[in-house]
Amino acid sequence: MRDFYAPVDPATLKRERARARELRASQWWKRRIAAGVCYYCRRPVGARALTMDHLVPLGRGGRSARGNVVPACKACNTRKRSMVPVEWEEYVRSLDGVSQE
């Protein structure tokens, strides 16, 4: 079931993007990024270099809620694209296999 996409209503996307903007402005998010560490690669990049990533992307039915957003460096966020956590883990494992050969 790789790369499954169900159509997401444009109004729903607009509403979830607005919620994401609200979360980014919240004290909760500011505390979340204060350590400056990427959720995925665990590298310290600084709070200003972190972006908000949806674990389950909005385009795949995810929501802009505290349990679905994590701080990610730009490199990880770009590589993750619209993968869900299971796909991301598979991708990272495939990279580990390549680097060990």
CATH of the domain at 91: 1.10.30.50
User: Could you tell me if residue 91 is inside a domain?
Assistant: yes
- What is the largest distance, in Å, between two alpha-carbon atoms of the chain? 47
Q: What is the mean pLDDT of residues 85-94?
A: 91
pLDDT given at position 95: 86
> Over pLDDT 90: what percentage of the chain?
78
Segment 35-54, tens digit of pLDDT: 999 999 999 999 999 999 99
Q: Is the pLDDT of residue 25 over 70?
A: yes
Global pTM?
0.85
CA–CA gap between residue 79 and residue 63 (Å, rounded):
20
pLDDT given at position 8: 85
User: Could you tell me if residue 81 is inside a domain?
Assistant: yes
**What is the extent of the structural domain holding 55?**
10-99
